[in-house]
Each structure stands twice: as structure tokens, then as C-alpha cells.
Amino acid sequence: MKKLFTVIIALFTVAISAQIKDIDANAIPKQMRIRCGNTNTTPPLMVINDIAIKDKKVGNLILHTIDSEKIVGIHILKGEEAIEAYGEDAKEGVIKFHLKKNKKNVAKPSSTKEKINSSNEVIYFADNETDKAKEFLKLMEQNSDKISKLRFLKGEKAIKKYGEEAKNGVILVNLIQ
């Protein structure tokens, strides 16, 4: 019986030690993921350098272009504090990103026209005038305080309103007058 007990303890020791694994911190990809608790609820309002991104799809698009190394801080607002600061759009909460002040916060498009007009690019309109991706990103970086609203259209709505070149989507930028 003692031998059986000793064998069982030895097996448990081997099984427990087999669960330990060293992880190389450099091997982990540096990628940012934000997940909200219940997936049936509306996602929280994204605020990037004090710019509220009210369209959830545009916020998600911009969020995926941010270099995680450029994030200075993230602040979460909930409940009355969020609604008081950002209105009814913030009833599900607010995630505020504070980024370093330089021009590398958002992904840069290629400078060639072929890349900007390629079939997988989204076209941009600023106050109803066609704008190239490069100018749009420049606008986001330099004049972010002058943007009043960002909206994203895709599919049939975008094609119907802006023609076939909008088949991959349109980001509408409204500036403060």
C-alpha cells in the first residue's frame, strides 16, 4: 500500500510539473486587443487624443492602425462620469487613448497612386470632396481638433451614393466650420 501511495504521489508531481512552461517575452507578438464583456451590448465609445470616434466601425478601424508602442495611457470612464463627459453616446462607457505626440501614431499608406487607388483601399471624402488616403491621415494627425464627425459607409449604400469607386467603403469626415 505504501508503494502504491508513493507511485501515485510521484505521478501527481510529474503531472503538475508538466504544466509549467517558460515563455519568452520577445516571442509574444505586440498586438493590442480590446474585448468587452458581453458581446451582445454596444461597444464603448472610443476617444483617441481627446477626439470622440462616434462611429464604432471607424473607431475600430483607427484602433487597429495605432502602434501599441505609441500609447502613453488608457483611461476608462463608466456610468454617469462617461455620460457627463461625452453624452448619450457614452452610455456603454468610454475608452480614452492618450498617444505620444508624433506623426507615427497611425499607419502610413504607400505614396504611390497605384497603391492608394488599388482595389482593397477605402476611399475618403472630406466635406463631400474626394480626398486621398495620404491627405486623410495627414488631416487626422495635424488637425484632429478640427474634426467634428467621422462616419463609415460600405456596401450598397456607399456605391449608391458615391459610385463604383466606393465599393470597398467610404470614410466621411466632417470638419468644424
**Residue at 7 is within a domain:** no
- Number of domains making up the chain: 2
Residue 134 has pLDDT above 50, yes or no: yes
- Looking at residue 36, its pLDDT comes to 57
Instruction: List residues bridging with 131 in a β-sheet.
Output: 124
Domain boundary pick from 78, 101, 124: 101
Q: Are residues 116 and 174 in the same domain?
A: yes
Q: What is the mean pLDDT of the chain?
A: 69
29 phi and psi, to 5 degrees? -65, 140
- Looking at residue 108, its pLDDT comes to 41
Taking CA atoms, 85 is separated from 36, 78, 81, 98, 140, in Å, by 20, 10, 6, 16, 22
- Looking at residue 120, its pLDDT comes to 45
Domain carrying residue 127:
109-177
> What is the tens place of the pLDDT at every residue in 157-166?
888 888 887 7
Residue 7 has pLDDT above 60, yes or no: yes
Q: Are residues 47 and 79 in the same domain?
A: yes
129 phi and psi, to 5 degrees? -115, 135
**Residue at 1 is within a domain:** no
Cell of 150: 467621422
Residue 114 has pLDDT above 50, yes or no: no
Domain boundary pick from 81, 101, 121: 101
pLDDT level of residue 81 (50, 70, 90 thresholds):
very high
pLDDT level of residue 69 (50, 70, 90 thresholds):
confident
Taking CA atoms, 64 is separated from 32, 57, 91, 120, 163, in Å, by 8, 11, 23, 16, 27
State whether residue 9 is helix, strand or coil.
helix
- What is the pTM for the complete model shown? 0.42
Cell of 87: 453624452
